[in-house]
Structure 1
Amino acid sequence: MIVVMKANSSEADIQHVLTYLEKHGLTGHLSQGVERTVIGVLGAIGPTGAPGSIGGLNPAVGEALEGMPNVENVVRVSKPYKLASREFHPEDTVVEVPAACVSGGVVRIGGPELVMMAGPCTVESEEQLMTTAAAVRKEGAVILRGGAFKPSTSPYGFRGLGEEGLKLLAKARDEFGMAIITEVMTPTDVAMVCEYADILQIGTRNMQNYMLLDEVGRTRKPVVLKRGMSSTFEEWLLAAEYILSQGNRNVILCERGIRTFEKTTRNTMDISAFPLIKRLSHLPIISDPSQGTGRRDIVGPMSLASIAAGSDALLVEVHPNPDEALKDGAQSITIEQFRQLMPQVQSVASAIGRQFITR
């Protein structure tokens, strides 16, 4: 349920609605746009199928809200995800990330400008990280990716340097001014990772780790939520709803390929996700063509396709020597390949009326 307030509604009118909701065991989430203010209503409003209910909504609640001062109308939201829906928030959400390397010190994801995030899949050593960071920053990347904690299908695979890797990422940020995105894997690690990271990444295996989603939702750090490898759009947006419902509005969706019957690629990159998610949700959506394909030879074409389809940023794995990478070398491009990629994605961006922020 969404309560739409009139344009001339006062703070007292809004508070009256919020107080009513609280008294009835409901939670009101405020979204104040340029033209209107809406209040998303969360909670058990009435049992589905109860006498007189419509889609599980008790009509008495809606009728009471409609009669309140300066309430324009009450909308029954048809989708199970409320806060992530376009109905709740018609305007695009823009997530701001601090980055000293750009003018104004802030990178905006979801606005007219595009963003390049690049770096190694896994932080292996100081030399490897600093070499990569220097190279990708020189070419225009403004956010540095790098995994300090890495999930591995095999228990014998490299699982990251842990906090030492986080310290190296922080050192790279200090030297190059780039923002840092890194994965957090458990609720108990959230506080520690927040000390170092500018963006928290939730990996595909943890998309439905609801305790972890709740925990990152209690922070105000931007969160990149990767699509589960077998997840529908609805499941993905409901996972985002967990974060949003805890009060963190800084959610960024990431398409990283899904598991299909095809074995030529590691995953099947779902390019349709970009225009469809933008119809369903106000949240920014970015592309990880490295995880999305598992093959460095098609990271470039999938990057171009993602930008053309509406991606708000690219998340690309770059390694000084991918053949010797401790993890996922097959999907990591070389520094030279990244150097060639940047002017290509900038050309596609220009063709659709957008541009990459690089400084």
Structure 2
Amino acid sequence: MAATVNGINSAISQNKASVDAAVSGNTNAIAKNKADSDTLISENALGVASNTASAKTLAQSVTSVASSVSDNGSGIANNKAAISKLNNEEAIVTARTEKNSLLIKQRQHAVDVTNAHIGGLEKSEARHFTKNEKVIAANKVAIDSNAKNAATAMTYSTISVSKAGVALSHADHSVKVADESLAQSKLVAKTAASADSHATSALNVANHAEARSVVADKHATEAVSVANHSLAQSTDNGNRIQEARKDITQNVEAIATNHNNISDNSRGVRQNAQDIYAVNKRVDNNFFAIKNLQEEIDNLDTKIDASYAQSGAMSALMEPHGVGHASFSMGTAHHGNANALALGFGMRLDNNFSIKAGAHLMM
């Protein structure tokens, strides 16, 4: 019995020693675990603080990105309004250009019509000048011919009058001879027949002289008629010359008017050319402004794509699961022409609160 009790006591002592050793080991393990827990909690606290700061920084970055997106939206709206305004101005410039082109065509047509009219007037004036020169030359020839005819008629008249005078002289001489013959016939009867013959001859000569006098009077009358006709024709030619001079004066005035119209049209064409140059310069300026604006819009689109890709990559980071557990995650996103990669660290402190931090990289 005593041996049994001693064995039990010995076993109890051994068990106690084992228990004490186990308790001591557990105490050391608990102390170590507590120290490790304290270290881990301290590290976690530092990580939480760092993650909190990172979260705040990330929140600020997200707010900044949201503000940038909002500003970009406003910028896009402003750019769209500016583009619409530029398009309206370009439409106005195009309409003005088309209007100026139409005016130039109309003025060019007027210039062409005026030039054609001037050409026709110049040809007409040339024909009139040629015609007038021919008429004047013909009038000069007619006047010279009339003068020659008048001089010839006067010469014929003078000759006829001279011949009539000669005929009258012959008639007087014949009468004288007849008187002498008659006197002789009274004295000498033998020469009566001869006297009668001489008297008859003298009468014939007188009649012939009278006939030639009538012809001379007719020639003189014809000469006067020719002279009057020449004078009338000369007067008519003078009137024609005056009319030709009036036509020439009118043609000269018409040419001067046409030259003035051409000068006005030339000034209009030069003004239109200056207007077109100014419009083209405005169009060029608008083109470069639109080009610069398009480049800014393209850059803005690139930034917007990058912002959306970065936001998507950060949003793709997984939430940490399990209280006291930390997790690493990676997220990618694509928007437009931009790709982004995000790396994140997260830890859940309790069921209601977790922290997460990450960084993104454009690809």
Aligning the two structures, in what range does the TM-score lie when normalised by the shorter sequence? under 0.3
Q: Which has the larger radius of gyration?
A: 2
TM-score (norm 1): 0.14
Bigger relative contact order (CA 8 A; separation at least 6): 2
TM-score when normalising by structure 2: 0.14
Structure with greater strand percent: 1
Larger helix proportion of the pair: 2
